[in-house]
Amino acid sequence: MELGTVSVTPWEAEAFVDYDRLIKVFGAKPLTDNEINMLKNVTEELHIMISRRVFYSHRDFDKFLEAYKSSRRCALYTGRGPSGNTHLGHMLPWIFTKWLQDKLGLDLFFQMTDDEKFWHTEEREFEYFNSLAYENILDLAALGLDHRKTHVIIDSEDIGYLYPIVIKIAKKITFSVQRATFGFTDSTNVGMIFYPTLQMAVAFLPSELFREPIEVLIPAGIDQDPYWRIARDIATSLGYPKPSQIHNKLLPGLGIGGKMSSSKPETAIYTTDPPELAYGKVVKAYTGGRATAEEQRKFGGNPDVCPVYKMYEMMFEENDMKLYERYYSCRGGSLLCGECKTELAERVARFLKEHQSRRIRAVSHTEKYLIRNKFDPPIIKRT
Ligand code: TYM
């Protein structure tokens, strides 16, 4: 979707975009106090990613919460295209999803799209992406997602769970819809053209597995929204509830502009980065500061365009008062970028150290997350 000079698609996205305009163009709704109060009513407290509107827009989140409150059966769905190691941007929606899972006690279906990433990337063998799917499960385990309630579908190996649904989805979607929604062209390979049916299918899988209509909520980056627009259009005609979404803004990379992305490894913090390497990346980050310390003291910096401030706001500062203090000290020129970056570098390095020791402990039990070890694939009822 083009927004002036920037574009947001599932495969390419800026971080500092006009998010309000983006949701208007996408046709989603801003998250308002109404939905936030409804959530608080159920969860009793709010995650900072909600109160700070990191998750900022939605489709039918209110209806999902109503369904949950009236004891209708609900589930969560999110995913990952394993194209490399996990970075902090990927972790952002998963951290919130874990919080929701803990608060609501729901099953989470987690899709690993090794096929998508193979079709999308030129140079690598398919096996590389499949191995990464397993490698990335370590991050889900290290985050503490409950393996009894978290079910990972690896597309290439668990296709039997999706294919009976995909067959029906594929018949409903024309190439012209795909082209208009995802920007495919005559030179796009047919794997990519077919792929969206797989990402949509997981939204309907819980209804097939539990053999009743399941209300599904998808917490994910706003860049993934195009899939859900189509999924919602076709859901009713396939006999499934429309999946609901709650969208997060994109964590910027540590360079100028752009989301944190595997395509710019020097500006991304990977969960596998040695803590000292990550420390160095943060210390070298681009900021919203002035050219010299003198100018910064005189005119102040600009946290609104600063990826370092955004890292605090979106993930690394729990305390609202401290966040505001940081914001205004930066604006007022009393906080210099060096100090602000060093503090963040320390927090990031500490987070990685702890996360990595949990990753090591997870190595022996990734199997527990696989859907194939827990559910039978949907049954095709012959007529
Ligand atoms: P992928 O691997 O590109 O991204 C995984 C999740 O991370 C979000 N994300 C970000 N969030 C904040 N800041 C960033 N810099 C950032 N970069 C990525 C994405 O929005 C996504 O939520 N096709 C999908 C895989 C997938 C999926 C799903 C994702 C399959 N089913 C259902 C979400 C929900 C993909 O390649 O995601």
Residue-wise DSSP of 38-68: HHHHHHSS--HHHHTTSEEEEESHHHHHHHH
Size of the chain in residues? 383
The closest residue, in CA terms, to atom 14 on ligand 1 is 89
Architecture, CATH, for domain 2-254: 3-Layer(aba) Sandwich (3.40)
Within 10 angstroms of residue 93's Cβ, the number of other Cβ atoms is 24
Q: Where in the sequence of the chain do the CATH 1.10.240.10 domains occur? A: 265-362
Tell me what pLDDT residue 7 has. Answer: 64
What distance lies between CA 240 and its chain's CA centroid? 23
Q: Where in the sequence of the chain do the CATH 3.40.50.620 domains occur? A: 2-254
The closest-lying atom of ligand 1 relative to the alpha carbon of residue 252 is 15
Tell me what pLDDT residue 111 has. Answer: 99
d(CA 201, CA 79): 12
Q: pTM of the predicted model, to two decimals?
A: 0.96
The yes or no reply on domain 265-362 and CATH 1.10.760.10 is no
d(CA 54, CA 96): 10
Dihedral over Cα of 56, 62, 66, 71: its sign: negative
Buried b / exposed e along 102-113 (16+ C-beta atoms within 10 A): eebebbbbbbbb
Distances (CA, A) of 230 to 88, 96, 184, 196, 330: 28, 24, 15, 9, 43
10-residue mean pLDDT profile of the chain (383 residues): values are: 57 79 93 98 98 98 98 98 97 98 98 98 95 98 97 98 98 96 95 98 98 98 96 98 97 92 91 98 96 96 97 98 98 97 98 98 95 94 89
User: What is the residue type of 314?
Assistant: M
Tell me what pLDDT residue 3 has. Answer: 47
Which residues sit with their C-beta closer than 6 Å to ligand 1?
Answer: 10, 77-81, 89-90, 92-93, 111, 113, 116, 199, 202, 218, 220-221, 223-224, 248, 250-251, 259-260
Tell me what pLDDT residue 257 has. Answer: 81
Mutating to test ligand 1, I would choose from 56, 80, 156 the residue with most ligand atoms within 8 A of its C-beta, which is 80
